[in-house]
Amino acid sequence: MSHLEIKQIPVLNDNYVYLAHCPDTDDTAIVDPAVVGPVLDGLKEMGWTLTHILNTHHHADHTGGNLELKEATGCTIVGPRADRDRIPGIDVEVGDGDTYKLGKAAAKVFDVPGHTKGHIAYWFEDSDALFCGDTLFVMGCGRLFEGTPAQMVNSLAKFDALPDQTHVYCAHEYTQSNGRFALTVEPQNQALIDLMAEVNDKRARDIPTVPSTLGQERATNPFLRPTSPDLQSTVGMLGADPVDVFAEVRRRKDSF
Ligand code: ZN
Ligand code: FE
């Protein structure tokens, strides 16, 4: 069992990519390499050598660096079995319930369709680290490009079963606009109000709001709270099916 060392690297407009390093074996992965240059710079800064790419889904802002990094380092590319044909250079296919070991650090893999059909997440339990791509964001969730509300609710339920202290290493800094929206559907939520004050302060100083924790998300993220009476009554759906409530909240967010 090994505790990963994690380095967060901001790239493009609002993406985060993550270097994850096993200190016992020196294996080092990049999660969702959107680009190449900043990844190589980060490796150099940390003195780490790339051995793996872990992809969560096929979008170009998550796989854009795959082939060039593989060419440069000979690293192994791990990605979703369900989307093998859309992951450039994939070597190892993983899916729901699989365990993938990065050195001595074990990741449990979840299938989390919704944003894309083949989206997966990697949960390194011993490191309290969840790499969830574009499925869960701080106070938000990914747009449903290829999946249904029912699929996404089922995917998010897998995260909702993880411990409070799990760090949510999501792939975008969307927090501030997510929070503004969250307040429109759950205006009485004091945890949300307090968090937004903190987020506004951090963003004003250009400090990342990612990672959050699952405990924080459970308390503030409207997409994990379709059973909240405050939220349900704000959208006029008190007592409705949580999937229908989720779908309505997602629909509102799409046009926010
Ligand atoms: Zn995406
Ligand atoms: Fe993305």
pLDDT in tens, 156-208: 999 999 999 999 999 999 999 999 999 999 999 999 999 999 999 999 999 99
With 80 as the cut, is the pLDDT of residue 1 above it?
no
Catalytic residue list contains 172: yes
Mean pLDDT confidence for 128-147: 98
Output the domain CATH number for residue 95.
Answer: 3.60.15.10
With 80 as the cut, is the pLDDT of residue 97 above it?
yes
Ligand closest to 86 (CA) is 1
Is 27 buried (19+), middle (13-18) or exposed (0-12) by CB count in 10 A?
buried
The residue annotated as part of the active site, out of 115, 119, 128, 167, is: 115
Ligand closest to 32 (CA) is 2
Whether 236 is in a domain gets the answer no
Catalytic residue list contains 119: no
Catalytic residue list contains 164: no
Catalytic residue list contains 91: no
The residue annotated as part of the active site, out of 59, 111, 119, 128, is: 59
* Residue 209 confidence (pLDDT): 98
With 90 as the cut, is the pLDDT of residue 86 above it?
yes
Whether 182 is in a domain gets the answer no
With 90 as the cut, is the pLDDT of residue 100 above it?
yes
DSSP codes, 59-112 = -HHHHTTHHHHHHHH-PEEEEEGGGGGGSTT--EEE-TT-EEEETTEEEEEEE-
* Residue 216 confidence (pLDDT): 98
Query: What region, left, alpha or beta, does residue 128 occupy, with left being phi > 0 and alpha being psi -120 to 50 degrees?
Result: left
* Residue 2 confidence (pLDDT): 78
What's the CA-to-centroid distance between 129 and ligand 2, angstroms? Answer: 19
Mean pLDDT confidence for 134-140: 98
Residue 3 in 3-state DSSP? coil
Mean pLDDT confidence for 64-73: 98
The residue annotated as part of the active site, out of 27, 52, 134, 167, is: 134
Give the structural domain span for 153. Answer: 5-170
Whether 133 is in a domain gets the answer yes
Percent of the chain surpassing pLDDT 70: 100
Whether 219 is in a domain gets the answer no
Catalytic residue list contains 160: no
* Residue 68 confidence (pLDDT): 98
For the chain, the residue count is 256
Residue 192: how many other CB atoms lie within 10 Å: 22
Catalytic residue list contains 57: yes
Whether 37 is in a domain gets the answer yes
* pLDDT one-digit tens code per residue, 56-65: 999 999 999 9
Q: How many domains, in total, are found in the chain?
A: 1
Whole-angstrom distance, CA of residue 183 vs CA of residue 215 = 18
Contact predicate 137/14, CB 8 Å: no
Whether 212 is in a domain gets the answer no
Alpha carbon of residue 1 to chain centroid: 23
Catalytic residue list contains 61: yes
For the sheet containing 212-213, what is the strand order?
99-102, 105-111, 120-124, 129-133, 167-170, 212-213
Does a cis peptide bond (omega within 30 degrees of 0) precede residue 211? yes
Mean pLDDT confidence for 212-226: 98
